[in-house]
Structure 1
Amino acid sequence: MKKTPERIEALAAEYVLGSLRGAARRRFEQWMMESTRVRREVWFWEEKLGDLARDVPENQPPASVWNNIERRLWGAQEQPGKPARGIGRWFWPSWSMLATAAVLVLAVVLIQQPKPTGEQLSGAIVQANLEDPLWLVSESGTENLLKLRSVAASAAEAGKDYELWVVPENGQPLSLGVIPAGGVHRVRLSDEAREALSRSRTLAISLEPTGGSPTGAPTGPILHVTKLYSL
């Protein structure tokens, strides 16, 4: 299959939308690992579709909706000879005031907490048709640590290891070493890897011989590609 600009653009859009599945999705993820041009097209569509979601205007419901909610909550208690209506009227504003007070207290606590000195990225490595993610990923910008917590990942086949890669905006993927399928695994990021990850926010996992790729570049199939997001 030729990597024409038109085909790359179409496949990138399908990939971001999630409609590219199966072998076609895995093949396209291999293209992403091999080509800066393909990765840029994917990132373009992520930004483009993200802008569409942000441009959707807020739609305030009419006042009648809230009146119907109140009527459903308290209307059934409005029976002659019973003080339920009075209780409902007393409880509702009191509950609202308590909720408002709780929000104010929470806001003060958040303001008083020290702000993090570095950006933190997080995400999940998932596989289609699975309810749980394979790994959860979190990163600390202050300690240069990347933590992967296994959730539903299964062990690699005999004679193979999973290898984690940073996929930079330009150049070849950077290896972060092999990762286990179980437990919690921590990776110390080099300055180069930290810089590349902060720019691209993209990780990939390939299937390699035991001990990792012998060439310093992915040699096996690319199993997963994931995008991290700022906290």
Structure 2
Amino acid sequence: MPPDETPDLLIAEYVLGVLGREGRERVEAMIALDPRHERTMAKWQAHFAEWLSQLPASSTPIGAWRAIEQQLFGSASRPPSRASGWWNNLGLWRWTTAALAAGLLASVLILQQPVSGPQPTPGPALLARLDQSDGNTLFAAAINPDRRGVLFVSTGHADWPGKSAEAWVIASDGKPRSLGVLPANASATLSVPPQLADLLASGAVLAVTLEPLNGSPSGLPTGPVVAQGKISSL
């Protein structure tokens, strides 16, 4: 098992349902052999329970995965060989998996709402990877299809006693606008005011700064940028 592919992380991905068959079988074998892994799975199930309970029971439409694969990889019949470094970059797939899971969940929640009239055609999925200065990813972000919320998925552990992490969107005018304060070491969806919705577009930047508790008192960043990344469309 690669060093950064820890049992705890694998079990979290198992609970989210983003592992392939081989990964699922590995986790199920781990749980069968060690009761500690079963307790870890129960912990992650409780952690994700509120999020996952929002999804009503439904079956995957026929051809959905083939369509996703076609959109991601085009006409390629199989992924590049293992010699391709970026393809096997675990860090890349960690944040992509988290953001895709978040984006797909948001899309499904929108599609499951009762239809009361003509519905607008959803735009492309908008995602961002917020990296620290050392290149490590601190957050994966997925923007709701209606751009009224941004889900920030914490991908690492951070300790900032006496400080709050505040998220910002920076559009082409270079002016940061606050999206709200993020909880410590937890995922959260921040509501987006209507006047900021159009700023959440491909090419804009999401950033996180350290601010006094409960956020910047001035409405502008006052502390250092701890993570940032451009929004891109899928």
TM-score range for the pair, normalised by the shorter chain length: 0.3 to 0.5
Determine which structure has more spread, i.e. the larger CA radius of gyration: 1
TM-score, with length taken from structure 2: 0.46
Q: Which is helix-richer, 1 or 2?
A: 1
